[in-house]
Chain A
Amino acid sequence: MALIEVNELIKNFGSRRNLSTVIRGVDLRIEKGETVGLVGESGSGKTTLGRMVAGLIQPTSGKIFFEGVDISRRENRMHALGRIQMVFQNPIQSLNRQFSVGLQVAEPFRLLKKLEKSEAVEHARASMNSVDLEDKYFKRKPSQMSGGQLQRVAIARALASQPELIVLDEPTASLDKTIHAVIIELLLSVQRESGVSFLFITHDLTLVRSISSRIGVMYLGRIVELATAEQLFQNTLHPYTKALLSAAPKVGGSARPKKITLIGETPSARAVPFGCSLQNRCPLVHERCRVEMPKLIEVTHGHHVECFAVK
């Protein structure tokens, strides 16, 4: 049984008159101990999907199974309590600036593990040590620490309840490039020790390649390509993924391949075109893309693509 299984997930925001469909039918599985990456541009719905998996928002329809129990139903929500955790993009905003960071890491031990305060503090110290923060940081306030250190506090806090899945929503986006590697190393070592699964949300393609076993590419609320990291980068199939990979700037001297540039911008989630969502920007568009909605089909083993032009 998969750890997480998402079925036909749909999420609308807004009133009936002003409806935005942000997630338009997503299926996804995450196995135990696996890291699944989600990439996409802003507005593609990757954060919304992550928040639904973490139980922070209710889906409009569709099911989220956690070890076979549908946690999108209100009565089953307690089943996943403390077993799915989230690390947010901006650690300064996701931590309480009035409490010392140590007490914030101790909080889940007290509330979820029902420990006494002194015990919780002991555990929190150990937990902070495991993310390479020494005891001297325990009493610091968030304003006295750097962004990279705060993100490590946030990771320690997420690990406190010994979750089986951590949703990482752009955990390195607000940090300097030189600190990315430190956070990624830390996450990989945590995973080796505890066997936790990650849902890693990012827009950075090189980053996602270095941490994920499988990667889903999102565009306008749908996963348009889902494959192993190897397949996605070596044998890119969907025209959107191709454009995304080619648009990412690369370091190096002169000789560089011709760019595939998409025309225009991502349409608004309020006016999603009928048929394929990429139809107005796609270089391979033909009649069928405008009248029929493509489905995510498995092309080769483990490589799923949602495009009529791919056989």
Chain B
Amino acid sequence: MTQREATTYALEALQQKGAQLVSITSSAGYTEELNADIGEFSLYRTLFNSSVSLKVIKDGKKGSGVTNSFDKTALDEAIAAALAAAEAGVVDEDEGIAEKTENKTFTSGVLSADKELLFQRILEYMNELKKNYPKVNLEQFIAQYVNNNVLLMNSNGVELSSHSGFYDYSSMFSGHDGPLSTSFNGYGGTFTDLSTPLIDFGMMRTVFEDTVKSFHATPVRGKFTGPVIFTPTCVGEFLYNVMRLFAGEAPLIQKTALWRDQLGQQVASSKLTFGSYPHDPRIICGAPFTNDGYLAADMDFIKEGVLKSFLLSRYGSKKTGLPRSANLSGDLIVAPGDANLAEMIAGIEHGLIVNRFSGGAPAGNGDFSGVAKNSFIIQDGKIVGPLNETMISGNLAEIVQNIIAISQETVCDGGSVLPWIAAGGITISGA
């Protein structure tokens, strides 16, 4: 069957078998992926992708089934599995599917791959790396073109579809100079055209330059509490954790989310504004609709320190009585601040600039600790040397309240737009 035939077949079959509410999401497309290991091409992979996700509600009980085949036998098995799950389930009046809205089709990105140019761009990247950063070893490089067509249909008559195509790459590398080596680091991003050399993308060159400055790393001495500048390469991870832990669906349903009663209230420094903006032109192929069948809109999470939204699906919203999120795509954009990065560094007497955080999963109350990787120590307003074996610890809820400055400069990687953020009150300890 074609994608549309498979989707329609599943929708109708489930209704005929007694499901009152049905939502089907299917996808079809392909991926062209080029891999290099230890600086040499190693693999070219083509994936013909397909999937069908079925959600049914029968007599108030939900069940789900998934198959990655449009074959009738596989679909029939997934239909039977979803119905069996629903029949075994429990009545939950908060379950449901998206209400009827205007049917829409979205097209974004580049809809066919130029694999020859992609190959040439990777070759150029590896040659430029060898020429300009000879002490950096490229451990792994993966570049791909992804073409994806998503179709969502439900028994309320919702029909939303998207056709998208994009390129992305990821790289992992480390510095080596005789017996000396650095921690590995990684960088990558998403884009729709191949007009720019990959090495000039986002912070790629900056991260390479930081790598070759990191050979003589030492731990900080002792333990102190001080400020840390988080670079765009780790700001996103921190803010995702903030929203997931304090305003995410699972802790809200469990009533353990710290910010469950804080909507519209000040939860962070007034310097901080960020949200998820799938329609921002800097975001590549932002999701135009949610997995549960609603059109996506741009959304502030925190505006000038005030909590504006939770991360809640339709189900989570009904279950908690709190507003549903305008989108769940995580296309993160943080508003720039009024400081420039050089001033931020100059303003720190004794602290760190952290490029990568390697830490344990933060606790539900926001406590976190981990290793400051690919990072540098700041002393008397200057970056004085690379770090190793140094841990940072703190609390995420306190960090967003203790923001000292946010940079004017931002970096876009196609999936996010992020500045540098300086925050105080972080425990810094060396080996």
Q: A and B, one complex?
A: no
- Chain B interfacial positions (CB closer than 8 Å to A): none
- Chain A interfacial positions (CB closer than 8 Å to B): none
